[in-house]
Structure formats: structure tokens, C-alpha cells
């Protein structure tokens, strides 16, 4: 579930949250409180290319659900390309060569998922 924090109650150690729940064509806004032992507030997040040339132009980032869908389509296209008749083995290997840049939590999960997909 993805929710938005709308308030912090420091005295009761709770955060106020709001999320949208949709079923069919109707949606409703629901609110709830979530208790915590320790609260870390980390605002803002941006994809960092570390100034490496070509990263922004040639990489798929994984910040949003749409990014994951685009990556999945791209990987599927690579598998389809590798199955074209008449390809040399070197062309097939090139079509199925992937590089995961970044060893944060998302990169590690992607690597494990890729390994399971290729097994």
C-alpha cells in the first residue's frame, strides 16, 4: 500500500496517513494512524546518475511503477529479438546481455528477479 503522511503526532508517537482505495470505477480516500518506535523523516528523492555520461539517455530507472512496466516491456522485447530466426549466436548473446547499475536495494532485488527469470 502507498499512503501519504498528512501529520505527525509526536506526543502519541503516531503518524496520520491517507490513501486512495479504488475498486472498479469508484475510489474513496481512507485515513489511518500508524504508531512508531523511531521516526525517520527523509524528504525528497531523485535519481542520481553520479555525472556518468550516457546514463540518463540509455538507462531505465526504477522510481515509479511506470518505470518498472517500461523495463519489463524492454526486457520482453530483448527476448523476442533474441528469438528471431537467422541470428548469429553473438547477436543472440548481445540481445540478452543486461547491466544493472547501482547496488542499492532496488538493484539487488532486480538482480535476484532477473536470475529467477532466466533460470
Q: Where is mean pLDDT largest: 19-33, 59-73, 79-93?
A: 79-93
> Does residue 29 carry a pLDDT above 70?
yes
Helices (H) and strands (E) in the chain, counts: 4, 3
pLDDT in tens, 73-90: 998 999 999 999 999 999
Range of the domain at 105: 55-118
Q: In the numeric block, which cell numbers belong to residue 111?
A: 538482480
Least confidently predicted of 61-65, 78-82, 92-96: 61-65
Domain assignment present for 59: yes
Helix, coil or strand: residue 8 = strand
One domain, residues 31 and 59: no
Domain assignment present for 48: no
Domain assignment present for 16: yes
> Does residue 43 carry a pLDDT above 70?
no
One domain, residues 20 and 71: no
Q: In the numeric block, which cell numbers belong to residue 50?
A: 553520479
Whole-model pTM: value is 0.54
One domain, residues 59 and 29: no
Pair 47, 63: CB distance under 8 Å:
yes
Our count of domains for the chain comes to 2
Closest CA to 60 of 50, 49, 51: 49
Amino acid at each position: 500500500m502507498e499512503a501519504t503522511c498528512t501529520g505527525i503526532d509526536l506526543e502519541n508517537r503516531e503518524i496520520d496517513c491517507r490513501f486512495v482505495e479504488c475498486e472498479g470505477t469508484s475510489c474513496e480516500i481512507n485515513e489511518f494512524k500508524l504508531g512508531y518506535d523511531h521516526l525517520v523523516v527523509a524528504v525528497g528523492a531523485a535519481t542520481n546518475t553520479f555525472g556518468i555520461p550516457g546514463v540518463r539517455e540509455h538507462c531505465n530507472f526504477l522510481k515509479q511503477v511506470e518505470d518498472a512496466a517500461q523495463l519489463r516491456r524492454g526486457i520482453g522485447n530483448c527476448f523476442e529479438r533474441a528469438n528471431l530466426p537467422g541470428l548469429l549466436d553473438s547477436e543472440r548473446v548481445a540481445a540478452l546481455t543486461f547491466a544493472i547499475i547501482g547496488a542499492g536495494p532496488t538493484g539487488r532485488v532486480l538482480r535476484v528477479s532477473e536470475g529467477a527469470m532466466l533460470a
